[in-house]
Structure 1
Amino acid sequence: MGPTASGKTDLAIALTEVLPCELISVDSALVYRGLDIGSAKPDTKTLAAHPHALVDICDPGEAYSAASFRRDALIEMERIAAAGNIPLLVGGTMLYFKALMDGLADMPSADPQVREAIEALAAREGWPAVHAELALVDPESAGQIHPNHSQRLSRALEVFKVSGKTMSQLRAEQGQAELPYTVHQFAIAPAQRSVLHSRIALRLRQMFDNGFVDEVRGLMARGDLHADLPAIRAVGYRQVWQHLHGEFDLETAYERALIASRQLAKRQLTWLRGWEGLHWIDSELPRNTQLTNVIKQMSLP
């Protein structure tokens, strides 16, 4: 695990060269075909040499959920373990990791009218007002969701309004599923936040230089995609999509994507700081030292 641009994929690939590991992607953007440059998807050559399960499994017009991920990841983990190898999950979508580790409760189906009412409240008073309303009925969920994380806020409040029960209550009632594996959890990140910010800025600039805008233009040209789809809401894609719709110029799109990327990294680090049983790896250490730290923690020879 780790924040965006922290070096997760490079470390995971290095681990496959010293341990009998097979990779499973834990990334809500990499599941989509055609989201390549802006998602920092490993290139074709890398994927051929080091296959990642759960990459390119969905069309951008489809919605892929944490529940879908848990189902698919468990299938891949069982396949890899049955072959005598180690499932190595790598990515930065913390909600997916949490769903895998803790299980998922059955939640009520979406209610368009309730959702519209919540979005209307947000339009009038802002998402912090929605967060405040959620805190009154479900303080536990509100404490885990940033006031500006619109999608998660809307869903948590919608669950309560539709069912009369909070997400926290539903999860507690249905219990948690325990994985049938010994799990070792690692997070990689630079010790200094400034280093991470520099890496994020460099990678984003490279994306723009390498054709990110043309990639989004190609998605838009399909004609069947829209801004509310999870794929198009991904960090970077949303901002370039808005630029191509004429909402602001390209440099503004870059600056907004940079801010969104930094905010994503901050949310990821917040998740990780509260994660139990996590072992940290400094991304600035030499690769051999990183590998030694992982193998030592796993008590492997």
Structure 2
Amino acid sequence: MGPTASGKTSVAMRLAAELPVDVVSVDSALVYRGMDIGTAKPDADMLAKVPHQLINICEPEETYSAGTFVQDAVAAIESIHAAGRIPLLAGGTMMYFRALTQGIAPLPAADANIRAALDAEAQLEGWPALHQQLAAVDADAAARIAESDSQRIQRALEVFRITGKPLSELQRETLQPARYNFIRVALMPPDRAILHQRIAERLDQMMDAGFLDEVRQLRTRPGLTADSTSMRSVGYRQLWAHLEGETDLPTAAERALFATRQLAKRQITWLRSEPVINCFDPLEAGAIDTILSVLRENLGE
């Protein structure tokens, strides 16, 4: 586990060269086909060398949820165990990790009509007004969701309108977690400034590699809109807005950078709340050897 740009893919590749592991991606954006540059998806050579499960498994028009991930991840883990190998889960979608290891609430699937209605309300009244709506029906959810977090406000109101029950109430009705022995390893750069620098450098590399053209191509797909779950991923949302004429490119890039830094901050907050976690500085000399030592000890090698 680790925040964006902390080097998870590189470490996973190194571990796969030393241990009998198969990689299972834990990333809510890598599941989508056609979203390669902006997700820092492992390239064809890397995937040929170390195959990853749960990458390129659905179209960007589809909705992929934490519940679906748990089902897919358990199936992948079982198939890897059946082959006599060890599953190595690697990614930065902390909600997916938590759903798998701690259980997940039985929430309803997305409803396109309700989401469209909420989007229309937000256009007229603004997301802070919808946040006030949420506070009236689910104070607990509203207390932990920022007024600017449109995606989570929409989901909480959507769940309430579908079920008639507050999201926070349903989340307390948690299904059982997967029954495996998880060895939690986190890559945690201690210097936030260095992480921010890595994020900025990676975004520059993405732009140089054709990230804008990738989003431009995605916009030609029928059925894909700015409100699609896939297009709410950081970077994609901001570049889509630029192509819609809402911002110039430098502004879009700056907003993408800010959103990515905020994502990293949220990921670090999640990690700090994880139980029994082994933290490593990925930039420290010899970090990979230390991680290997911890894993081998826990695996009984």
Q: TM-score scaled to structure 1, two decimals?
A: 0.90
Letter in 2 for 1:234: S
Q: Could you say which residue in structure 1 is the equivalent of 2:42?
A: 42
Letter in 2 for 1:73: A
Supply the distance in 2 between the matched residues of 1:215 and 1:112 (Cα, whole angstroms): 25
The one-character-per-residue Cα deviations of 1:147-206 (angstroms, maximum 9, x if unpaired) are: 432212222233234433222322334x43132211111211210100100000000000
The one-character-per-residue Cα deviations of 1:248-299 (angstroms, maximum 9, x if unpaired) are: 2221221111111111111111211222222211112124344245326625
Give the alignment of 1:1-301 within 5 angstroms.
1-108=1-108, 110=110, 115=115, 118-119=118-119, 122-123=122-123, 126-135=126-135, 137-173=137-173, 175-286=174-285, 287-292=287-292, 294-295=294-295, 298=298, 300-301=300-301
User: Does the 8 A contact of 1:26 with 1:90 survive in 2?
Assistant: yes
Supply the distance in 2 between the matched residues of 1:268 and 1:193 (Cα, whole angstroms): 12
User: Does the 8 A contact of 1:189 with 1:196 survive in 2?
Assistant: no
Letter in 2 for 1:64: Y
Letter in 1 for 2:184: Q
Using the aligned pairs only, state the percent identity: 52
Letter in 1 for 2:183: H
Aligned length: 300
Deviates more, 1:137-146 or 1:41-50: 137-146
Judged with a 3 Å threshold, the aligned counterparts in structure 2 of structure 1 residues 206 and 272 are, in CA distance, closer, same or farther, namely same
- Could you list the runs of 5+ residues in structure 1 that have no partner in the other structure? none
Supply the distance in 2 between the matched residues of 1:223 and 1:115 (Cα, whole angstroms): 18
Letter in 2 for 1:277: V
Supply the distance in 2 between the matched residues of 1:121 and 1:217 (Cα, whole angstroms): 27
User: Does the 8 A contact of 1:7 with 1:189 survive in 2?
Assistant: no
Please state whether the residue corresponding to 1:221 is helix, strand or coil.
coil
User: Does the 8 A contact of 2:104 with 2:177 survive in 1?
Assistant: no
Letter in 2 for 1:267: R
Letter in 2 for 1:273: R
Judged with a 3 Å threshold, the aligned counterparts in structure 2 of structure 1 residues 13 and 144 are, in CA distance, closer, same or farther, namely farther
TM-superposed CA distance for 1:113, in Å, is 6.7
Q: TM-score scaled to structure 2, two decimals?
A: 0.90
Q: Please report the RMSD computed on the Cα atoms of aligned residues, expressed in angstroms.
A: 2.3
The one-character-per-residue Cα deviations of 1:186-245 (angstroms, maximum 9, x if unpaired) are: 211210100100000000000001111111122223344211111222111111112122
